[in-house]
């Protein structure tokens, strides 16, 4: 942010977590209480960033493994003769989403807590 800015700056979504990073404004005469609040917000942001980056990485990896295993079971290659990526139908993907959410329910509850 420019030196003359007096606001927090919010960036574009992070490619791993999909969270928008925040650069917090630090007033020149920040009080100890303001500093504690800013630092708590920065730590919360860092914690959220770590959680969602790890969660999204796991999600994408498990999704690819699920698709690969289902296609393999059907005897279908990951890509067809034109190079187009093979996909599963909505019902098959719903199985993955349901299982993934069920398997990660406790993690989400702990995160929300």
pLDDT band at 1 (very low <50, low <70, confident <90, very high): confident
- Tell me which residue range forms the domain holding 20: 9-112
Q: With contact defined as beta carbons under 8 Å apart, do 21 and 45 qualify? A: yes
What does pTM read for this prediction?
0.79
Distance separating alpha carbons of residues 8 and 42, to the nearest angstrom? 12
Radius of gyration for the alpha carbons in the chain, expressed in angstroms and rounded: 21
Which whole-number Å values give the CA distances from 104 to 43, 59, 68, 98, 107, in the listed order?
23, 10, 21, 10, 5
pLDDT tens digit sequence for 86-99: 788 899 999 999 99
Quick check: is 69 in a domain?
yes
pLDDT tens digit sequence for 22-48: 999 999 999 999 999 999 999 999 999
Distance separating alpha carbons of residues 52 and 47, to the nearest angstrom? 9
Backbone angles phi, psi at 85, to 5 degrees: -70, 130
Q: What pLDDT is attached to residue 88?
A: 86
Helix, strand or coil, per DSSP, at residue 24: coil
H or E element at residue 22: strand 22-23
Quick check: is 4 in a domain?
no
Quick check: is 30 in a domain?
yes
Number of domains into which the chain is organized: 1
Quick check: is 58 in a domain?
yes
């Amino acid at each position: 942010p420019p030196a003359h800015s007096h606001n927090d700056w919010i960036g574009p979504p992070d490619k791993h977590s999909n969270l928008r990073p925040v650069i917090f404004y630090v007033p020149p005469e920040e009080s100890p209480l303001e500093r504690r609040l800013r630092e708590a917000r920065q730590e919360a942001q860092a914690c959220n960033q770590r959680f969602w980056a790890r969660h999204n990485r796991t999600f994408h990896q498990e999704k690819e493994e699920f698709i690969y295993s289902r296609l393999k079971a059907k005897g279908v290659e990951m890509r067809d003769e034109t190079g187009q990526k093979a996909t599963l139908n909505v019902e098959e993907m719903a199985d993955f989403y349901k299982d993934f959410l069920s398997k990660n329910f406790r993690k989400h509850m702990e995160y929300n807590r």
